[in-house]
Amino acid sequence: MDDGEPFPLEGLFGETAVLFENQMPAIDQRLQGSERLTITMGFWPTWPVTRTYSAEFRTAGYWTARQLLSACDRQVP
């Protein structure tokens, strides 16, 4: 985020998703003050032999969306 230290993935969730569960408080804090987020990934089965790919996202509105999601989660019994 904004050229800061990357967050390593914690594990896999299924075949197509990654986990950052334990790092979410730190990720939320960094995203709150960031303007952009870069995600870099490699693809199996050739990674790390082949190159990685990066995508950059603007983070405007992230914190508001995160707070609304948390409020929604509290409404579910």
Domain ranges of the chain: 11-75
| pLDDT over 80 (residue 3) | no
| pLDDT over 70 (residue 47) | no
Tell me the mean pLDDT in the region 28-40.
Answer: 85
Per-residue pLDDT tens for 59-77?
888 888 888 988 988 887 6
Q: pTM of the full predicted structure?
A: 0.62
Contact 55, 45 (CB under 8 A): no
Asked if residue 6 has a cis previous peptide bond (ω within 30° of 0), the answer is no
Looking only at Cα atoms, what is the longest distance across the chain? 46
| pLDDT over 70 (residue 24) | yes
Q: Tell me how far apart the alpha carbons of residues 34 and 23 are, in angstroms, rounded to a whole number.
A: 16
Q: Tell me how far apart the alpha carbons of residues 53 and 66 are, in angstroms, rounded to a whole number.
A: 26
| pLDDT over 70 (residue 45) | no
